[in-house]
Amino acid sequence: MLTYTIRRLILAIPVLLLISLIIFMLLKLAPGDPTAQMPLTIPPDVKEKMKEAMGFNKPLLVQYALWLRQFFIVEPLHWCDVLFGTHFATGLQRIISWQTRSPVFDIIWQRIPQTLTVVGMSYLIGVLIALPIGIVSAYRQYSWFDQIGTFVSMVGFSVPTFFTGVLLIVIFSVELGWFPSIYDTTLVVHDWASFAKQVRQMAMPVAVLALYNAAQISRFMRASMLDNLHQDYVRTARAKGMGERVVVLVHVLRNSLIPVVTVIALGVPTIFGGAIITEQVFKVNGLGQLLITAIYADDVPMVQTLTFIFAILIVLFNLVADILYGLLDPRIRYD
Amino acid sequence: MTDATMKADDLPEIAPPRSQWRDVWAQFRNHKGAMIGLAVLVVIVLFVFIGPLIWRIGPEQMPTDALTLIRSKNLGPSWGHPLGTDQLARDELARLMAGGKISIAVGLTAMTLSISLGTLVGVLSGYFKRLDGILMRLTDLFLALPLLPLLLVMVMLFRDTIAHVLGLEAGTFILIVSAIGVTSWMQCARVVRGEVLALKEREFVLAAKSIGTPPRRMILRHILPNVLSPVMVAATLGIANAIITESALSFLGLGFPPDFPTWGRLLYDGVDLMQDNPGLVIWPGVAISLTVLSVNYIGDGLRDALDPRIRGR
């Protein structure tokens, strides 16, 4: 298992390098002037100097290498400095956002808590809803519960999140006035009243995303339970005289959870990146919204860094899913 | 198995052979959700393509004098405008039809592109062992890309250039369709590759090979017809995916230009006005959701109907 993990980690390096090259080239090959957004009052020769300072006159490969160096060497060194009070990164250029002129990673660090509370919470709730629904749907296949569950999950992943979000806003903010339609990030939770306010402003975005996540995971859970319910070992367990509860919740459930756990692991990167639309609808200023504003503002370093971080997360959690599969299922051995 | 033999005994003589597609249709008809989905989809397609012939108000038609324009802005449903009017006094029903035309066209074209790419990659990597490694690595690489962010970046960066070359409407259409197609072929490629790998071990392929069939005819005559069913399922799901992606792009303001209504764009334009006129948000959203839902149900039914293990049970 350890050798397999190490081999996969080593294999991930060329994949990530290739992805970073794709992202870099996509942004570089795009037509358009990087200084186009600057005020027209800046004289052309100053503009040229700014371009030079940003490193646009160097060959593409050098620019790419410089970005990789900033991403993989300068930034970790900087965080090492912050944590341990060392001085490795003094004088080294960090990745700077063109919008705000501050380091990209500092801004990302500010945005992570919002994304994690809203999107992470919705993923958690989605999983917690999906598992029991999947189990009951499979155990009572074709019952009314299963039919409704199937329909709701079909609706859940057919109706786009921007429509459910807007619909909830129309109903609960505009008509009924129960929940605020805009997420207030400056709210500090210090007592019960502010906690209730936080819960109220989180309710709608979390509900939208939780429905979407639960729809997908409950389908996987149901299919996986159905696969296992008709296996011979289940009949053996029943023949041994075990109670129905033990058979379903211990024998079948534990085996069915194996593929579902990997599906859940594969979905984790979307917590960080995938909720772009929902964050935009409810004005949550998390990572997705950061990406959108950066794209609108032609902030190349920010877009590049964020997309690459999302790619790293996807590769990483693919690996985690494969390893989990091996750990949970003793029949699968990678060696 | 036992059921089938018992039935055969009951019959006085052997029933005439039936074509495979009739069996598939018979099974498909048993799937209630899929039949409802098909009916809804047919209604939507008729609404979008035949509707404008009956409902003669144009999607861009506005009252010419300022006073009527201001008076007929953001109206509720009435006989003249069954779904009301938008912020520029244009008829919402007509705009919904025009938007649906583009949304469905985007869905179909992007699906065709992604299915062709996926089938090509899948057949090549399944059939030719030498290409398998590199093509599957490529597929894995594409699966590891953060797709929505990249789509947004692609549209943002190339929109103006392509619009300059091909014109605003055609340029945006081609850009969005190809961007969606290029980022959604991977699932299809994987499924097709698996099928091809299994088919290669079958006797009829061996027989065809032993009489000297060249690879090209082998693929066209023997492999492709047999991978049709998974491709068809992937195609239906591909339409749904493409429609959702297009409307998501439009919703984020990175899709079609404002004067070029698609369902996503209509929804996006309606968000600012949803307090005064919630219909502007709800109708396009309902249209997208109904289309995608019905297509997904059809895909579900097709999957069951095309699976010979389920069919005939």
Give the nearest partner residue to B247 out of A22, A160, A306, using CB atoms: A160
What percent of chain B has pLDDT above 90? Answer: 9
CB proximity under 8 Å: A 23-62 to B:
23, 26-27, 30-32
**Residue A263 predicted with pLDDT over 50:** yes
Q: What is the pLDDT of residue B7?
A: 54
What one-character-per-residue DSSP string does A97-158 give?
A: -TTTSSBHHHHHHHHHHHHIIIIIHHHHHHHHHHHHHHHHHHHTTTSHHHHHHHHHHHHHHH
Which CA distances in Å does B144 have to A274, A309, B111? 13, 11, 21
Q: For residue B148, what is the nearest residue in chain A, using CA coordinates?
A: A274
Q: What is the pLDDT of residue A38?
A: 67
A163 touches chain B (CB under 8 A): yes
CB atoms inside a 10 Å sphere around CB A285: 16
Mean pLDDT (whole number) for A143-149: 87
Q: What is the pLDDT of residue B112?
A: 93
**Residue B289 predicted with pLDDT over 60:** yes
What percent of chain A has pLDDT above 70? Answer: 93
| B109-134 confidence digits (pLDDT tens) | 999 999 999 999 999 998 888 888 88
| B243-288 confidence digits (pLDDT tens) | 888 888 888 888 787 777 888 888 888 887 777 777 778 888 888 8
CB contact under 8 A, A307 and B150: yes
Mean pLDDT (whole number) for A50-77: 78
Mean pLDDT (whole number) for B28-42: 86
Residue numbers in A near B307 (CB within 8 A): none
Main-chain phi, psi angles of B85, to 5 degrees: -125, 165
**Residue B1 predicted with pLDDT over 50:** no
Give the nearest partner residue to B157 out of A32, A155, A292, using CB atoms: A32
Better-scored residue on pLDDT, B162 or A129: A129
The domain locations on chain B are 107-307
Least confident of B10-14, B21-25, B84-88, B249-253: B10-14
A303 touches chain B (CB under 8 A): yes
What ipTM is given for this predicted complex? 0.79
Cα–Cα distance measured from residue A82 to residue B44, given in angstroms and rounded to the nearest whole number: 59
CATH 1.10.3720.10 is right for the domain spanning B107-307: yes
Which residues, other chains included, contact A135 with Cβ-Cβ below 8 Å and sequence gap of 6+? A221, A225, A248, A253
Q: What is the pLDDT of residue B250?
A: 86
Is B215 within 8 Å of B147 (Cβ atoms)? no
| A175-211 confidence digits (pLDDT tens) | 787 887 777 777 777 788 888 878 888 888 888 888 8
Q: What is the pLDDT of residue B311?
A: 60
- The domains found in chain A, sorted by start residue, are 16-84 (no CATH), 107-328 (1.10.3720.10)
CB contact under 8 A, A303 and B149: yes
pTM here is: 0.83
**Residue B237 predicted with pLDDT over 60:** yes
CB contact under 8 A, B157 and A26: yes
Chain A nearest CA to B210, separation (Å): 37
| B47-102 confidence digits (pLDDT tens) | 888 877 777 777 777 766 767 666 666 666 776 666 677 766 677 778 888 888 88
